Chains A and B, each alone.
Chain A
Amino acid sequence: MFNPYLPKIAKVKKIKLEAVDAKLFTLEFIDKKDKANFCFTHGQFLLVGLMGLGEAAFDICSSTVKLNTFELAIRKVGSLTNKLHQLKVGDLVTVRGPFGNGLEQVKYKDKELLLIGGGCGFITMRSFALDYLAQKLLVKKLDIFYGALTEANLFFKDEYNLWRKKIGLAITLNKPSLKWQGTRGVVTNLFSNSQDFSNTVALIVGPPPMYRSVIEELQKRGMKDSDIYMSLERRMYCGIGVCQHCAIGPYYVCKDGPVFSWQQLKDIPGAI
């Protein structure tokens, strides 16, 4: 019988300092079979860990089509992530997954796609952006709204110029330096009156307080509840809908999510 609790082992191939408290890790499975079998959908996550410290969930932020290696951007927020930040090239981590439902292409095919990321939520958007640049994402148009705290917190800064050739990337900073020329304040400041979202699908990923205000802005501009998707964060252990930690009403974030539509969640107390 398959044992879902046994992790695969991956090696750290590359580490890049991404933001003041975040690093981008490029990882590769040690076992050839694990490497060959690996595939994922945008928005799916992995349970990555270190022996002795346990596992935590991370969204994959690399391309879904170039699968020799995969990438995770990890902010230092707790004991496991602190230890992950001390890893060197060649060190090993444990990996389980990918888990759950991401945002499959059928949900936005031939429509416009708007990705709204707050803080770490922006990490998830990179796999969409990379695939779009490689012409592997079947959308009419891709826009990304990104709300961060300061310049120093921005993820993937070095890639913005390349992205902007094809992607509408709008950034707002809540506490920028005096030099900042762009939009200030929260992510909803990036919405304007001229936007029409009646043929757009959105994915929201960010801290919980952000969701309600963003959903309101999208609805005001004609977006249907069934076209508003969001990725949720919860504590999780098993990854397969058993341990109960990530449950929301009738759903499990690890198995039924992490990406849900607002249509699914709007009547569930405590979902966002």
Chain B
Amino acid sequence: MTINELYKFLEYLTQQNIVWAPQRVNGDLVIEPLVEPKKVELTSELPLHSFKRILVPPSEVLFDYQNNKIKSEIKSPNQVIFGLTIPDLKAITFLNQVFAKDPYFQQRLKKTLIVGHSLVPTENYQFFIQKFAEDVLEHLKFDLFFAVKGKEFVVYSGSEDGQRILDDFGYKKYEHIEYVGPIREQGPETQMLKIREKFYDDQTIWQELGKKCTECGECTLVCPTCFCFNIFDQPDLKPGCGQRCREWTACFYPDFSQVAGASSDKEKPKFLKNTAERIRFWYEHKFVRCPDQFSLAGCVGCGRCTKVCPVGIDIKENLQRILKGKVK
């Protein structure tokens, strides 16, 4: 497909969908609804804020209640997320495992056309980034993929929805790649398994990071795989009515592990007692619980957390240190 055909295709997509695509606004690369197809920027650069808010909204209604009557309508607009790099496709693949039984996420994903491309991020705070190869694609969740070849694109479909939209648009020269699940035939990634194995070897690292980290939670916001949430009720002005909602939270916030118990004048009991325990918890989630649960790391190596950290905590460095194991 040529670039002009691509612009036409984008034009076609915007007729019936909201098309989220990377664009340059005031110098920053952001994912916003596309109005003018030529404004799309296909680049190896990662937008600081990923697709995450589109598939896992910062806040969403689980159901409406009216006294004790529950009304739940799971709706999602038809949308396209265009221009995702391989690490971000990996993040979607991961979230699809986490929310495999979540009707809200699955409904949204069903209504969303995921479109990736092959330009590989190369900034030095990134790590375990996979290069594009056809055998990488079969383990990624996508509907369409544009592999850059010279000035043109080789087009792949990764789902029936992807095929249908190309057929409807009238493009025939695509290849189909069947999604075979997130894990490669040779098994889970060895780097991830090594980190898992050595995770508890050196406990001094958390004490040190605990002194540095300011618990701002920025890393959890920009992370494409951080998804933890609170559930809360939002009552209406009408008595007995309201909504049960869920919203993003961060394991760095002090009330994350707080339970009821003490009287109001005393501090309530918490299970993550200090910054060191909270930052360990964040790493534990990504490199212990996720590998155990899904055979996938809860980290795609995009390095966004390192980029935003106000005190220079570098995830790549920390993982290298975990891999070194016990300091003797």
Contacts and interface: CB of A to CB of B under 8 A. Distances in A.
Which of B62, B65, B240, B261: most chain A CB closer than 10 A?
Answer: B261
A270 interface: yes
A4 B68 contact: no
B277 A270 contact: yes
B62 A5 contact: yes
B68 A92 contact: yes
B260 A51 contact: no
B233 A53 contact: yes
A241 to B, nearest CB: 8
B124 interface: no
B179 interface: no
Contact of B261 (A77, A245, A249, A270): A77
A52 B235 contact: yes
Contacts of A7: 70
Contacts of B281: 247
A243 B256 CA distance: 11
Given A243-B228, A247-B285, A6 B63 contact: yes
A249 B292 CA distance: 11
Interface residues of A, number: 40
A269 B200 contact: yes
Given A1-B101, A51-B240, A235-B259, A6 B72 contact: yes
Which of B74, B233, B260, B261: most chain A CB closer than 10 A?
Answer: B260
A3 interface: yes
* Interface of A (DSSP majority class): loop
B241 to A, nearest CB: 8
Contact of A244 (B228, B259, B260): B228
Contact of A250 (B257, B277, B289): B289
Interface in A50-76: 51-56
* Interface of B (DSSP majority class): mixed
A235 B256 contact: yes
A78 interface: yes
A55 B67 CA distance: 15
Interface in B135-152: none
Given A81-B260, A247-B289, A54 B231 contact: yes
Interface in B242-272: 242, 244, 246, 251, 256-261, 269, 271-272
6 closest cross-chain pairs (CB), A and B? A78-B260, A244-B228, A237-B231, A1-B103, A77-B260, A52-B235
Interface of A: 1-7, 9, 51-56, 77-78, 80-81, 92, 94, 208, 233-235, 237-238, 240-245, 247-250, 252, 267, 269-270
Given A235-B256, A250-B284, 19 more contacts: A1-B106, A4-B102, A5-B246, A51-B233, A52-B233, A53-B233, A54-B232, A54-B233, A54-B244, A94-B68, A235-B259, A242-B98, A242-B102, A247-B284, A247-B289, A248-B271, A249-B284, A250-B288, A270-B271
